[in-house]
A and B are shown apart, each in its own frame.
Chain A
Amino acid sequence: MTRRNWLGGAAGWLWLAVVVVPLYWIVVTSFKAQRDYFTANPLAPPIRPTLDNYQLVIESDFPRYFLNSIVVTVGATVPAVLFSFMAAYAIVRGGSGRFLRSVNALFLMGLAIPLQAVVIPVYLIIIRMRMYDTLMAIILPSIAFAIPLSVLVLTNFIRDIPRELFESMRLDGVTDWGMLWRLAFPLTRPALVTVTIYNGLTVWNNFLLPLILTQSPDQRTLPLALWSFQGQYSVNVPAVLASVVLTTLPILILYAVGRRQLLSGLTAGFSR
């Protein structure tokens, strides 16, 4: 397309400013000393750049919250993708059976359940399982809510594998389990990466489950830690913004490394 698109261009540049100005402000301010923050132009670069804000954030137990977030994200994403992959394989390969068809319909219906709407019973179940205020309490529901979309995306991909490949492996005496790993796994790898990224980011950024299912500071994940840090230091804007930068840094690094994968992961299943 070589034709000019003035309106789109204008909207594009304007929205870019709307996106970039707050981001720039976050970064610049996070390097300012608190007393400089009030006196100078808020958009000017820091006169005396300082790392004090970052130090304050790190000393406020953020390494601990960081670790919690990693445990929860990995602990939820890996099983979620693995379970969904197995289920998707079974649904595609044995999809004509009534049982698997209804399992598939069940997962599709699951797409329509908003997490917010079921948090009260989830809370009840977690209390009854004596898991309240543990990281496991966040992990289990996170897996459950990652499954429907993951199964959907993965079934679409496994369906594209030519039937003949499975048949020839079957003739060679390979079991379903063997075909799952030696045929379906390598051929669906891009979709698996996509689904892993999508779920990983969703779990990493989740706020509601930690809010409801944990209580003590040492079980906090990053979004919740951000919120309570802000409650504690609301007047110290540079420190609050340093905490925002620190918690976003790992994802920004991932974004720099694999932008394409990350973006396709974010729209997984939405724009095919």
Chain B
Amino acid sequence: MTLPALVVFTAFGLIPLLGVVLLSFTTWNGIGAIEPSGLDSWSVVLADPGLPHALWVTFLVMALSWLFQTPVSILIGTFLAGQHRYRAVLAVLYFVPLLLSSAAISITYKALLDPNFGLGAGLGVPLLRQDWLGQPGLALGVVVFVVSWQFIPFHSLIYQGGVRQIPQSMYEAAELDGAGTVRRFFSITLPQLKYTIITSSTLMVVGSLTYFDLIFVLTAGGPGDATRVLALDMYKRGFQANLMGPASAIAVILVLVGLGLALLMRRLGGKDTDSQLEGM
């Protein structure tokens, strides 16, 4: 009974994974014949200053979006887990960004941030009326913000589940000992959320390698190559410059970085998280 799943997964998951390694040792323009070319693609890619740049941008997006999303998600998750009069109403609206496609979100922000036709221009507020996507530093900031806008609801949901699993008795005991809200948050909630934090962070960090659609539609890697992350670099080399060999080499690097990060997060979490991380 495993046969259908096994066949489809092998054909379009496993074989492509091996295929991308093989293709990185060939030359192919995407249409014609595939010629073996040894280490040519790798030497092109590794000598190109575009690679360290793409790695750096990928790292920046990953680190900044983690730094932004994690505290906000923990706060909102804790807030949503509590009893609150408006909680139900809030929750309905919070999760709407989860339902939108990355393409829809990017298109919306592209229109919203337009210096001539966007929200800032219409409101006439000079501070908001910047060329958000036209300046390298700002564009990177916008990417981080839009990523967070899309994914904070998801991580809040995970933290909400985590907070709900903390035994109520721990809070009652702390209250008897006279611990205030802030103290309870840092002494009970945060330590108890350790595994939730690791799960959520792993998803954020590994997931950040795959923010392709969002960046592709929002900035297409620009201005210049300011937001050209690894996945975008691969797409542009492969499907726009028709250099499938070097693009495959980038893809292999992408897989290796992803695996490395997953293992790193696993180590950070210690052995007991193994069973939880299987849930990814």
Contact = CB atoms under 8 A, between A and B. Distances in A.
Main secondary structure of the interface of A (DSSP, over half): helix
Interface stretch (A36-44, A47-55, A60-68, A188-196): A36-44
A11 B6 contact: no
B145 to A, nearest CB: 9
Report the contact-size class of chain A (Cβ under 8 Å from the partner): 35 or more
B244 interface: yes
A259 B98 CA distance: 12
B248 interface: yes
A185 interface: no
Contacts, number: 291
Interface string A246-272: 011001100100010011001101111
Interface of B: 1-2, 4-6, 8-9, 11-17, 19-20, 23, 30, 34, 72, 75-76, 78-84, 90, 92-104, 107-112, 114, 117, 119, 122-123, 149, 152-154, 157-158, 161-162, 168, 171, 175, 181-182, 184-185, 196, 199, 203, 206, 209-210, 212-213, 216-217, 231, 234-235, 238-239, 244, 247-248, 251-252, 254-255, 258-259, 262, 278-280
Interface in A79-93: 79, 82-84, 86-87, 89-91
A75 interface: no
A86 B4 contact: yes
Contacts of A165: none
A140 B95 contact: no
Contacts of A117: 17, 20, 234, 251-252, 254-255, 258
A141 B12 contact: yes
Contacts of B254: 114, 116-117
Interface of A: 1-9, 11-13, 15-16, 18-20, 22-23, 25-26, 37-38, 40-43, 79, 82-84, 86-87, 89-91, 100, 103, 106-108, 110-125, 140-141, 143-145, 147-148, 151-152, 176, 180, 201, 204-208, 212, 222-224, 226-227, 230, 234-235, 237, 240-241, 244, 247-248, 251-252, 255, 259, 262-263, 266-267, 269-272
